[in-house]
């Protein structure tokens, strides 16, 4: 049913529809509304779950690790510093092959402390073994949560899933969302039935010490599984489309790329702005397009290569920066494409700096002018040392 909802409400509703048995989270802006709504669902008797109000994000992730290990579907969400505090557990959850689902309300990292949006938090944990998907809008986020559990819990996968939603822009934005019914979600998402769990009838030891004789195989197994996810995820996407009629669940989305001379590559809500700019520039006769990365881990290298094969100029929009190198997505797009392609990297929108249509237009034109690996966009020169000014 179509409803006009705040993002966080919609995400909480989506999580509720997946029937998690244990929810644990710690308050951090801009994630808070999601857990508040879930707590209210439980308080109203609309959701049969244990909500554990922990004393830190480290413990939030640890609680859902413990509950998921008992075979109970679990949910958590966080942002920014919270994700950083969780980082140790985030890696641990993937290594223990626990398909927990987390929503990351993307927010900048301190210092300076900043509660506004960029994607530095989740991008910094790209190596952790979690499947990472980035939502362009609230409908997509809802769909990725529901499909995320299904993908992660497949016995062939058993990996955790992070659904990344831009803080404030999506979490606090009001949009029309087509909410599936409980019946539909129950038909799509079977109850969690893991191949291994903590069970007194069949005692197992989980989380053993893995020395040099076993450790690297555990990493290899996750790497191979990630490769499989590149096939499994679109299959679930097809199932999802059949059931719900939407194409949200996919590796990439190509927008007016067919004949594009210049294409931007981006993740998350900025893709909406880019699509608007593309429509306007196309009306003026400019051949521009967008490659949206929905699934960032596993990285869909072959799909990216194919999608950009005929595009001579590419600009990569990064809402993160690997300081001392370039934006994270830029390096991966560059590695996925042929050497003769002109690929530029643009770092923008950090700490909530608005990405306007003008910024996007300028990035399109810069991508065609000169190749630069790491151009910061829309800097305020008056805040910079003279020698740093652009």
Q: How far is the CB of 71 from other proteins (least distance, A)?
A: 7
**Cβ–Cβ contacts within 10 Å for residue 66, how many?**
16
Binding residue for other proteins (CB under 8 A) from 65, 83, 84, 308?
65
Q: Is 43 in the site for other proteins (CB under 8 A)?
A: no
Per rule CB under 8 A, count of chain residues that contact other proteins: 42
Q: Name all contacts of 246-250 with Cβ < 8 Å and 24+ positions apart.
A: 246/139, 246/143, 246/178, 248/135, 248/139, 248/140, 248/143, 248/144, 248/147, 248/294, 249/143, 249/144, 249/147, 249/294, 250/294, 250/295
Q: Is 128 in the site for other proteins (CB under 8 A)?
A: no
Binding residue for other proteins (CB under 8 A) from 43, 70, 174, 302?
70
**Cβ–Cβ contacts within 10 Å for residue 179, how many?**
18
CA 30 to chain centre: 15
Residue 152 or residue 194: which is nearer to other proteins going by CB? 194
Sign of the CA dihedral with 148 first, then 149, 151, and 156 last: positive
Q: Is 39 in the site for other proteins (CB under 8 A)?
A: no
Residue 204 or residue 325: which is nearer to other proteins going by CB? 204
Q: Is 42 in the site for other proteins (CB under 8 A)?
A: no
Q: How far is the CB of 357 from other proteins (least distance, A)?
A: 45
Spatial CB neighbours of 324, under 8 Å, sequence gap ≥ 6: none
Query: Mind giving me the DSSP string for 286-334?
Result: --EEEEEESEEES--HHHHHHHTTT-SEEEEEESS--TTS--HHHHHHH
Binding residue for other proteins (CB under 8 A) from 8, 29, 31, 74?
74
Q: Is 47 in the site for other proteins (CB under 8 A)?
A: no
* Measured distance between the N- and C-terminal CA atoms of the chain, rounded to whole angstroms: 50
How does strand 313-318 pair with strand 342-347? parallel
Residue 357, CB half-sphere, CA atoms under 13 Å: how many? Answer: 9
How far apart, in whole angstroms, are the C-alpha atoms of residue 217 and residue 26? 34
Q: Is 221 in the site for other proteins (CB under 8 A)?
A: no
Give exposure, 161-170, as e/b (b: 16+ Cβ within 10 Å).
bbbbbbbbbb
What is the contact mask toward other proteins in residues 85 to 104, using x (rule: CB under 8 A)?
Answer: ---xx--x---x--------
How far apart, in whole angstroms, are the C-alpha atoms of residue 378 and residue 272? 19
Residue 1 or residue 200: which is nearer to other proteins going by CB? 200
Q: Is 185 in the site for other proteins (CB under 8 A)?
A: no
Radius of gyration of the chain measured on its C-alpha atoms: 21
Q: Is 191 in the site for other proteins (CB under 8 A)?
A: no
Q: Is 64 in the site for other proteins (CB under 8 A)?
A: yes
Q: How far is the CB of 197 from other proteins (least distance, A)?
A: 8
Q: Which residue has the tokens 């005929």?
A: 310
- H helix or E strand, kind and range, residue 174: strand 174-178
Instruction: Name which of residues 193 to 212 contact other proteins (CB under 8 A).
Output: 198-200, 203-211
Q: Is 81 in the site for other proteins (CB under 8 A)?
A: no
Stretch that binds other proteins, among 5-13, 50-58, 177-185, 362-370 (CB under 8 A): 50-58
Residue 127 or residue 387: which is nearer to other proteins going by CB? 127
Residue 199 or residue 227: which is nearer to other proteins going by CB? 199
Residue 5 or residue 86: which is nearer to other proteins going by CB? 86
Binding residue for other proteins (CB under 8 A) from 33, 37, 58, 275?
58
Q: Is 27 in the site for other proteins (CB under 8 A)?
A: no
Binding residue for other proteins (CB under 8 A) from 24, 80, 248, 344?
24
Q: Tell me which residues touch other proteins (CB under 8 A).
A: 21-22, 24, 48-50, 52-56, 58-59, 62-72, 74, 88-89, 92, 96, 198-200, 203-211, 214
């Amino acid at each position: 049913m179509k409803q006009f909802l705040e993002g966080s409400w919609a995400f909480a509703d989506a999580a509720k529809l997946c029937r998690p048995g244990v929810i644990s989270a710690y308050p951090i802006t801009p994630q808070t509304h999601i857990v508040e709504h879930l707590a209210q669902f439980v308080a109203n008797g609309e959701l049969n779950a244990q909500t554990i109000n922990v004393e830190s994000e480290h413990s939030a992730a640890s609680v859902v690790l413990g509950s998921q290990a008992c075979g109970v579907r679990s949910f958590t969400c966080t942002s920014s510093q919270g994700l950083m505090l969780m980082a140790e557990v985030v890696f641990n959850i993937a290594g223990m092959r626990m398909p927990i689902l987390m929503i990351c309300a993307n927010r900048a990292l301190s210092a300076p402390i900043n509660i506004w949006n960029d994607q530095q938090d989740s991008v910094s944990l790209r190596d952790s073994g979690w499947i990472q998907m980035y939502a362009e809008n609230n409908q997509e986020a809802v769909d990725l949560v529901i499909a995320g559990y299904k993908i992660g819990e497949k016995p062939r996968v058993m990996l955790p899933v992070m659904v990344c939603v831009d803080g404030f822009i999506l979490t606090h934005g009001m949009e029309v969302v087509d909410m599936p019914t409980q019946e539909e979600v129950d038909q799509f998402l079977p109850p969690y039935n893991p191949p291994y769990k903590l069970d007194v009838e069949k005692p197992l030891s989980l989380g053993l010490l893995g020395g040099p004789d076993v450790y690297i195989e555990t990493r290899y197994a996750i790497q191979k599984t990630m490769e499989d996810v590149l096939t499994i995820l679109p299959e679930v996407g097809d199932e999802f489309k059949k059931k719900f009629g939407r194409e949200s669940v996919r590796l990439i989305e190509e927008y007016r790329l067919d004949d594009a001379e210049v294409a931007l590559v981006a993740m998350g809500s900025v893709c909406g702005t880019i699509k608007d700019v593309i429509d306007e520039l196309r009306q003026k006769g400019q051949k521009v397009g967008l490659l949206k990365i929905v699934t960032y881990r596993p990285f869909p290298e072959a799909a990216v290569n194919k999608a950009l094969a005929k595009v001579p100029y590419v600009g990569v929009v990064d809402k993160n920066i690997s300081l001392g190198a370039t934006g994270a997505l830029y390096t991966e797009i560059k590695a996925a494409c042929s050497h003769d392609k002109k690929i530029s990297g643009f770092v923008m929108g950090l700490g909530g700096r608005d990405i306007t249509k003008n910024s996007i237009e300028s990035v399109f034109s810069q991508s065609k002018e000169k190749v630069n690996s790491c151009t910061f966009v829309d800097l305020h020169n008056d805040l910079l040392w003279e020698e740093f000014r652009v």
